[in-house]
Chain A
């Protein structure tokens, strides 16, 4: 019996009829829009029941004025099938409205989500509830703004300069 993305969608929709908000198929890529409250349950189901053992990427998008809700957290997950044709990759999207940018962490499901979620937090300020160590990963720890938000001026170096000055002072002792 072969296993493909279509089957994944069918099984998921049967298991979570209320929480699969949209399904898109484009050039062989399957995208499911899911409700953010159930993200942890959906991911657990995908991993434990359907063998999606690999979280390939976890990132976010800020649509600002393009779309409502403003943010989307994107999960690319992969299933290594017993046969080459049964390898399946699907994309999950969870929408987050401005003012409530919090979502459950998927670190209990895939340990590898740890640094990916930290990077999303670093760049977008999206908080992951239940993350074991939610700190900035790339920018200095005392850096204030979240630079990948579309309302951040990419040439604004004020926060960087402030962190630089602080780092120099700390080093002076």
Chain B
């Protein structure tokens, strides 16, 4: 974006940009997360939304429990195969553009549950943008993940469908 406040132009100033850059600037500063919490990581996620860690400082505090109003899915907690189909359907119902954070060891690679029922990483069925390790991760780690999503939106824009 270019900013110009030349007095010849009236002193009010204006800026030049592209529609795409402008849209992405808006997107990155008002992410609307869809919390998909299934286990203990969800407690940390709630902590991130609440006043102590306050995700609203990054413009992403409006947790939407309808996927149709969200553009960032935070999968936090153990995902079993029975839950995986639900998770996938909810992801499918989110409008484009959309991003996914895999929060915690379980979503990244199954965590301690190397068993018949647990998905060994949600990237088996979802396109994950940012992985957050930890069991559970510190709230700061999730904030960092959201900031990485913001950076990704800024650098690469919306995902191409």
A residues engaging B (CB < 8 A)? Answer: 139-140, 147, 152-157, 159-161, 163-164, 167-168, 171
Contacts and interface: CB of A to CB of B under 8 A. Distances in A.
Interface of B: 80-82, 84-85, 88-89, 114-117, 120, 125
Contacts of B84: 164
A154 B113 CA distance: 10
B140 to A, nearest CB: 33
15 contacts: A139-B82, A140-B81, A147-B117, A152-B116, A154-B114, A154-B115, A155-B116, A159-B116, A160-B81, A160-B116, A161-B81, A163-B81, A164-B81, A164-B84, A168-B85
Of all A-B residue pairs in the complex, the 4 with the closest CB atoms, nearest first, are A167-B85, A160-B81, A164-B81, A171-B89
Nearest to B120: A157
Q: Which of A140, A147, A160, A171 has the most CB of B within 10 A?
A: A160
A171 B84 CA distance: 12
A139 B81 CA distance: 9
Contacts of A163: 81-82
A155 B117 CA distance: 9
B20 to A, nearest CB: 32
Nearest to B117: A160
